[in-house]
Amino acid sequence: MLRLSLLPFHRFPISSHFLNLSPKSTMAVSASFTTSSHSSKLLFRQLFEKESSTYTYLLADVSHPDKPALLIDPVDKTVDRDLSLVKELGLKLVYAMNTHVHADHVTGTGLIKSKLDGVKSVISRASKSKADHLIEAGDKIYFGDMFLEVRATPGHTLGCVTYVTGDGPNQPQPRMAFTGDALLIRGCGRTDFQGGSSDQLYESVHSQIFTLPKDTLIYPAHDYKGFTVSTVGEEMLYNPRLTKNKEGFEDIMKNLKLAYPKMIDIAVPANMVCGLQDLSERPAESVST
Ligand SMILES: N[C@@H](CCC(=O)N[C@@H](CSS)C(=O)NCC(=O)O)C(=O)O
């Protein structure tokens, strides 16, 4: 089991709860809050890229003196916005992570590495992509006192993972699940390319996501209808695809008739090297094997 750990543990006093949700604009939506749980405090932002309707998530342990932070599913087009925010908030970005090899946009991880020293890219080993850290189910990714737990949720692609905030006294409550394209709000990722399988996706969601506590917050990589967040309990009741039995689900997925993502031929090869293809002078520096 890999344990990505940045800094030694550091204990700080209880901090107050703060919630701030901004309305969706034509440019970007940013929802944020900090949660406190005993001795740690999470800063959280949900950021939006409108062309691909992608959500990027910023998480940081602001109780830690270094304010270590990570970005989940950054998009190349919004890297400057995201890095400005990181700077303004005084955070130290340590990981730029992907839930999977995206087909509809180029990841921002390569660009982020070129602009900010010390940031490490993270993706699943099962994705067969290059990155500084190749993670697997059960791994824990630490940022300060907090961590994300890795759950394998293949089906949209072979290497899809869901990152779930830790279960423990110093971890955010309720838990938060960053589901990538495995589980969308009232939907799910398509299963018709990149090793997709509706049978596998059904099993992944039911065994790895629907088994989390019902109040676990669901944060997907995309939303096409204006939703920002859901819960496990809500999706177990109202998801129009995943509330069906497996046969019914497979039938729905077979008949989605979605057009191929416009960017697929550019995005997939780029994302197989975490967006580093543009940085000709700087090949992936340390690929874990
Ligand atoms: N129109 C978009 C692509 C839309 C799309 O196919 N979205 C994917 C996730 S990104 S690969 C998906 O799984 N959608 C599921 C659904 O039910 O909508 C484009 O051209 O990029």
Give the residue numbers spanning the domain of 162.
3-17+29-260
Cα of 142 vs its chain's centroid, Å: 15
Instruction: Tell me which long-range contacts 56-61 makes (C-beta under 8 A, separation of at least 24).
Output: 56/82, 56/108, 57/178, 57/219, 58/82, 58/85, 58/86, 58/91, 59/143, 59/146, 59/148, 59/165, 60/89, 60/91, 60/143, 60/144, 61/143, 61/144, 61/145, 61/146
Indicate whether 12 pLDDT > 60.
no
**Domain-located, residue 192:** yes
**Domain-located, residue 207:** yes
Query: How many domains does the chain divide into?
Result: 1
Q: What is the pLDDT of residues 15-26, one digit of tens each?
A: 222 222 222 322
Which pLDDT band holds residue 35 (cuts at 50, 70, 90)? low
**Domain-located, residue 266:** no
Q: What is the pLDDT of residues 181-217, one digit of tens each?
A: 999 999 999 999 999 999 999 999 999 999 999 999 9
* Distance from residue 189's CA to the centre of ligand 1 (Å): 7
Does the C-beta of 181 come closer than 6 Å to ligand 1?
A: yes
Tell me the average pLDDT of the chain.
87
| pLDDT, mean of residues 220-241 | 98
The residue ranges of DSSP E strands in the chain, in sequence order, are 3-4, 18-21, 30-37, 40-49, 54-61, 68-72, 92-97, 120-124, 133-135, 140-143, 146-152, 161-165, 176-180, 183-184, 187-188, 217-220, 230-231
Does the C-beta of 104 come closer than 6 Å to ligand 1?
A: yes
CA distance 201 to 192: 11
Query: What is the pLDDT, as a whole number, of residue 286?
Result: 34
Query: What is the pLDDT, as a whole number, of residue 224?
Result: 98
* Distance from residue 169's CA to the centre of ligand 1 (Å): 37
**Domain-located, residue 216:** yes
| pLDDT, mean of residues 92-107 | 98
The pairing of beta strand 120-124 with beta strand 92-97: parallel
Best probe residue, ligand 1, of 53, 98, 104, 183 (max atoms within 8 Å of C-beta): 104
Does the C-beta of 258 come closer than 6 Å to ligand 1?
A: yes
* Distance from residue 261's CA to the centre of ligand 1 (Å): 6
Indicate whether 99 pLDDT > 80.
yes
The candidate with the shortest Cα–Cα distance to 256, out of 189, 179, 199, 210, is: 189
With H, G, I as helix, E, B as strand and everything else as coil, classify residue 107: strand
Query: What's at 43, amino acid-wise?
Result: L
Percent of the chain with pLDDT over 70: 82
Q: What is the pLDDT of residues 274-283, one digit of tens each?
A: 887 444 444 4
The CATH code of the domain that includes 115 is 3.60.15.10
246 in Cβ contact with 204 (< 8 Å): no
Indicate whether 102 pLDDT > 60.
yes
* Distance from residue 45's CA to the centre of ligand 1 (Å): 23
* Distance from residue 131's CA to the centre of ligand 1 (Å): 24
**Domain-located, residue 284:** no
Q: Which atom of ligand 1 is nearest to the CA of 156?
A: 13
Best probe residue, ligand 1, of 201, 204, 258 (max atoms within 8 Å of C-beta): 258
Q: Which atom of ligand 1 is nearest to the CA of 262?
A: 20
Judged by phi (left if over 0) then psi (alpha if -120 to 50, else beta), residue 99 lies in alpha
**Domain-located, residue 130:** yes
Query: What is the pLDDT, as a whole number, of residue 276?
Result: 76
Does the C-beta of 74 come closer than 6 Å to ligand 1?
A: no
Query: What is the pLDDT, as a whole number, of residue 2?
Result: 65
CA-to-CA dists, residue 159 to 95, 126, 140, 243, 259, angstroms: 18, 4, 17, 24, 22
Query: What is the pLDDT, as a whole number, of residue 179?
Result: 99
Q: Which range has the worst mean pLDDT, 1-5, 28-32, 173-177, 222-226?
A: 28-32
**Domain-located, residue 274:** no
Indicate whether 1 pLDDT > 70.
no
**Domain-located, residue 174:** yes
Indicate whether 107 pLDDT > 70.
yes
